[in-house]
Amino acid sequence: MNEALPDVPEVRVVGLPQLTSGFDLVERLDLPMHLKVHGPLEPMGGEKLAQLSERINLKGRGGAGFPFHKKLRSVADAAIKRGVRPVVVVNGSEDEPACRKDTVLINRAPHLILDGALLVAEALGARTLVVAVTRESTQRSMEAALAERGLSNGRRSALKAFVQRNPIRMVTGAAASVIRSIDGGPAIPPGRKVSASQNGVGGAPTLLSNAETFAQLAIGARIGPERYGNTGLYDEPGTVMLTVSGAVARPMVIEVPTGVPLRYVLQLAGAPPVPQGVLTGGYHGKWIDAATVNEAVVSRNSLDAVGGALGAGAILPISQETCPLGESLRVAQWLAEESAGQCGPCYLGLPAAARGLEDIINGGGPAALEALKQVAKNVKRRGACSHPDGSAMFLESTIKAFTDDLAAHVLGNGCGRPVEGVLPLFEGGMAPAGITAGTPEDGGDSRQKIFVDWTLCRGHGLCADILPEVFQLGADGFPTVAQAKVPRYAEAKALRAVRRCPALALRIEEDTRAKEPSRNLPVLSQGRGRRALGR
């Protein structure tokens, strides 16, 4: 079985180091050593910084790959139009079991990340800088780095800077989760999609980007776009940080120039000469087969072209001796457990998808395969964050990449190979935490009942997504119940369903016959609830 990766695994570099400069000298570059290795960095105006980002084609390194210069200009424009100070957030939440590149940078080169973040804060006129992390080691390292620079969250500080520590959860790293936690809420998506560039921390325009992105910006600002472009590919210059694990002899984080053959990276980590498949981009990524590995080079465009993904920078090969569907099932089950429990497609769909893959492995036949395809299709683009989309992409890639094994399980008696557990997961799994809506352990009904007004209901189905404990949709697309008691643990979700019903067709009333006192769930009609929110 593959052991969980340490926070700071072995670090290697191909070619000349940029982000990892000085790693051969010390374990952690404090401020004096950082300045010796990288030198000082002068402030840069906002438009000049945006032009630099555009010239080096800097894109977010957290998975989405959004162009940094567009984000920078969007935040600047919003701040000017509204006349408010923007906020800068470094997202160092790296919560996939197979990802460690940002954790390595925060632990070993925190000042390189702060260089980029402070450049942006100065250019935008920001007065607040937040670094979001989820691990004790990254919290310690970044808090020490802020102290070394004399930065604090004190009332008299010209720039308020602090570290926000959140739980280790797959959904914690979503931009909306990070912003919600900084504002004092739980580190889970808020259930509505809002642009951080327009309305982020405290309602202010917020530039939020991944830790490696800020470090890359600091390198580009120091050496200039010409020298930066001398490394890597013409259209994707610079280096990339990768975490390589799975069926390898030496799990590692490695800095490589773009354009390096993927097979060379795998060889450095001691992967099988002919892997059965390689998962690219992490657990929201895609599988590619052994033949495709020989065609791919390390770049976003190259991996996309061959059906893979750069994503969060995780590369995970598996050997010919293990069952790829069984390995993927372990990940699918973990992804289902990582749901925030707020959206029906995620809360119900991902466990159903994992069970579907398990049915296939256990000989469920073509019907099981079709059922899995349908579930994966149904969960996409219906969640409050990207977790269901990424999980569905992983499942669809699994059944597309391993057609021979799929046929052996669907049409025969299985592939006959064991599941070795080579894809790393957190030890003992991760129990969901921090879900404000409560859990089934809170058992029992409250004094509240929720009602459907059939004269208004138009079958939008949002109630079933938000409150699957109560509402299910019938074949006609309408709820199957007209009234129901609200489980105590689902009180907050019931109120959310009332407030968000597009047809104003839901209401909550207190059951006066109930013996237990109310648990503070407001008794709202749909109309009054909408006015209270200003909608």
d(CA 296, CA 294): 6
Do 407 and 345 meet the contact criterion of CB atoms below 8 Å apart?
A: no
Which tokens is 438 given? 């409560």
Q: How does DSSP classify residue 422?
A: -
Burial of residue 99, with CB atoms counted within 10 A of its CB: 0-12 exposed, 13-18 middle, 19 or more buried = buried
Closest Cα to residue 255, out of 519, 21, 525, 520?
21
Q: How far lies 497's CA from each of 485, 491, 523, in Å?
A: 14, 10, 13
Closest Cα to residue 332, out of 360, 356, 362, 354?
354
Give the torsion through C-alpha atoms of 401, 402, 404, 409, to 10 deg. -140
Q: Any idea which residue has 């700071």 for tokens?
A: 8
pLDDT in tens, the chain (535 residues): 456 789 999 999 999 999 999 999 999 999 999 999 999 999 999 999 999 999 999 998 987 789 999 999 999 999 999 999 999 999 999 989 999 999 999 999 999 999 999 999 999 999 999 999 999 999 999 999 999 999 999 988 999 999 999 999 888 999 999 999 999 998 988 867 778 999 999 999 999 999 999 999 999 999 999 999 999 999 999 999 999 999 999 999 999 999 999 999 999 999 999 999 999 999 999 999 988 999 999 999 999 999 999 999 999 999 999 999 999 999 999 999 998 877 777 878 899 899 999 999 998 889 889 989 988 888 887 777 889 999 999 999 999 999 999 999 998 889 999 999 999 998 644 433 333 333 333 444 567 888 998 888 888 888 888 887 788 787 677 888 888 888 776 788 888 889 889 899 999 887 655 444 333 333 333 333 332 323 3
Do 176 and 196 meet the contact criterion of CB atoms below 8 Å apart?
A: yes
Residues listed for the chain: 535
d(CA 478, CA 486): 19
Closest Cα to residue 5, out of 216, 242, 215, 164?
242
d(CA 485, CA 499): 17
